[in-house]
């Protein structure tokens, strides 16, 4: 065999597959199954509790009746009887404490909590959260929160020094799990995947990918969002799900524009194009003579002194008119 021809053939082969890869990747992209789906039953649970933050430097609640009543009830537990009307302290604040209990959390695990003032306290900085039971929707206590509250004094935004929100603070490892939500997944023979978006193609792709990997009919898509999994006999359910969740699925690329109306934020891919047309909005008019990107359109609108809300309204109406070939998600 001619070495030169052999080398040339290898180069052509590599070039062919490189071009093929570019073509495919422009239309498809791979995602792991664990990133596009949830295992039904493997979920977090929300917890909430009511408590007191003490030790504040005069920045607590000034005259909240529920704060004084709570403090009075607390003092009764240590044999100190005091009428709520006689309490004048500004070093105490009533707070709501919220947390998320992760799936399979066990007794003794630490979880983060968010402490938020519900009175007229000016700041929770430097206070201590007294022991607070955190309950689920069933009224049972799943965790206990307690500990000091600390936060940075300032935050840098856009080069400017701004104060943190001092009446709401996240306390890392601020609660201890006291009760676990037990689910015996080990002895399960069937598991259900719930896709994060409803799409027949995605459900079938997941089904075919799983069946192709295990070379058996272990997955079946029952609707555009649900895929039923049957565990092979030679595996435990945790082993089976670990392999399934790490499989890559080819998904069609979808152009998406995400709009947050509260903050005026618009996030879009740079290749999303706007078709030619005329935009007449409020006191300005913009003519789009050729296909232009969302980025260029946004820059032109800003030059016309359009506010973020104006830009959001224009993009939404362009989508309705079919001038933007993208899905618009408004939060």
Q: What is the 3-state secondary structure (H, E, C) of 3-59?
A: HHHHHHHHHHHHHHHHHHHHHHHCCEEEEEHHHHEEECCCCCEEEEEEEEEECCCCC
Q: How confident is the model at residue 4 (pLDDT cuts 50, 70, 90)?
A: low
- pLDDT score at 158: 47
- Evaluate if residue 165 carries a pLDDT over 50: yes
Is the model more confident about 156 or about 100?
100
- pLDDT score at 16: 45
- pLDDT score at 248: 93
Q: How confident is the model at residue 106 (pLDDT cuts 50, 70, 90)?
A: very high
User: Under DSSP, is residue 259 helix (H, G, I), strand (E, B) or coil?
Assistant: strand
- Evaluate if residue 19 carries a pLDDT over 50: no
The string of DSSP letters for 237-254 reads: HHHHHHHHHT-EEEEE--
Q: How buried is 181 (Cβ within 10 angstroms: 0-12 exposed, 13-18 middle, 19+ buried)?
A: middle
Weakest-pLDDT range from 86-90, 105-109, 138-142, 176-180:
86-90
- pLDDT score at 150: 81
Average pLDDT over residues 59-82: 75
User: Under DSSP, is residue 217 helix (H, G, I), strand (E, B) or coil?
Assistant: coil
Q: How confident is the model at residue 20 (pLDDT cuts 50, 70, 90)?
A: very low
Is the model more confident about 182 or about 227?
227
Instruction: Tell me the pTM.
Output: 0.67
Paired sense of beta strands 154-157 and 160-163, if any: antiparallel
Do the beta carbons of residue 95 and residue 115 sit within 8 Å?
yes
Percentage of the chain modeled with pLDDT above 90:
42
Average pLDDT over residues 219-233: 95
- Evaluate if residue 26 carries a pLDDT over 80: no
Q: How confident is the model at residue 159 (pLDDT cuts 50, 70, 90)?
A: very low
User: Under DSSP, is residue 188 helix (H, G, I), strand (E, B) or coil?
Assistant: coil
Q: How confident is the model at residue 309 (pLDDT cuts 50, 70, 90)?
A: confident
Would you kindly state where each structural domain of the chain is located, as residue ranges? Answer: 45-177, 184-252, 256-330
Per-chain mean pLDDT for the chain: 81
The string of DSSP letters for 60-71 reads: S-SS-HHHHHHH
- pLDDT score at 152: 55
- pLDDT score at 239: 96
Note every long-range contact of 277-281, with CB atoms under 8 Å and residues 24 or more positions apart, other chains counting. 277/318, 277/321, 277/323, 279/314, 279/318, 281/306, 281/310, 281/313, 281/314
- pLDDT score at 287: 78
Q: Which of 95, 99, 217, 106 is nearest to 168 (CA)?
A: 95
The residues near 203 (Cβ < 8 Å, ≥ 6 apart) are 195, 221, 223, 224, 225, 226, 227
Do the beta carbons of residue 281 and residue 291 sit within 8 Å?
no
Task: Give the count of beta carbons closer than 10 Å to the beta carbon of residue 129.
Answer: 26
Rounded CA gap, 152 and 99, in Å?
A: 21
Weakest-pLDDT range from 27-31, 45-49, 93-97, 239-243:
27-31
- pLDDT score at 296: 80
107-121 pLDDT, tens per residue?
Answer: 999 999 999 999 888
């Amino acid at each position: 065999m001619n070495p030169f021809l052999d080398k040339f053939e290898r180069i052509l082969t590599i070039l062919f597959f490189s071009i093929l890869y570019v073509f495919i990747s422009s239309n498809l992209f791979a995602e792991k199954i664990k990133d596009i789906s949830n295992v039904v039953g493997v979920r977090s649970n929300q917890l909430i509790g009511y408590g007191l933050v003490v030790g504040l430097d005069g920045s607590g609640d000034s005259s909240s009746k529920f704060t004084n009543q709570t403090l009075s009830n607390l003092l009764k537990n240590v044999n100190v009887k005091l009428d709520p009307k006689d309490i004048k302290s500004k070093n105490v604040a009533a707070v709501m404490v919220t947390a998320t209990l992760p799936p399979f959390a066990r007794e003794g695990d630490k979880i983060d909590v968010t402490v938020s003032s519900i009175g007229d306290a000016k700041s929770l900085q430097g206070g201590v959260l007294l022991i607070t039971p955190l309950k689920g929707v069933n009224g049972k206590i799943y965790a206990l929160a307690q500990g000091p509250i600390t936060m940075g004094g300032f935050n840098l935004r856009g080069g400017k020094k701004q104060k943190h929100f001092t009446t709401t603070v996240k306390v890392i490892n601020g609660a201890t799990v006291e009760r676990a939500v037990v689910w015996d997944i080990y002895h399960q023979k069937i598991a259900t995947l719930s896709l994060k978006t409803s799409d027949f193609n995605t459900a079938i792709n997941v089904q075919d990918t799983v069946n192709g990997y295990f070379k058996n009919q272990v997955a079946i898509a029952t609707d555009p969002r649900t895929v039923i999994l049957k565990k092979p006999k030679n595996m435990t359910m945790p082993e089976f799900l670990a392999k399934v969740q790490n499989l890559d699925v080819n998904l069609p690329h979808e152009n998406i524009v995400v709009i947050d109306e509260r903050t005026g934020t618009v996030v879009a891919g740079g290749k999303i194009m706007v078709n030619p047309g005329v935009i007449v909005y409020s006191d300005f008019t913009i003519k789009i003579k050729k296909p232009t990107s969302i980025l260029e359109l946004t820059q032109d609108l800003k030059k016309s002194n359009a506010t973020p809300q104006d830009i959001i309204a224009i993009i939404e109406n362009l989508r309705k008119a079919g001038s933007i070939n993208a899905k618009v998600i408004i939060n």
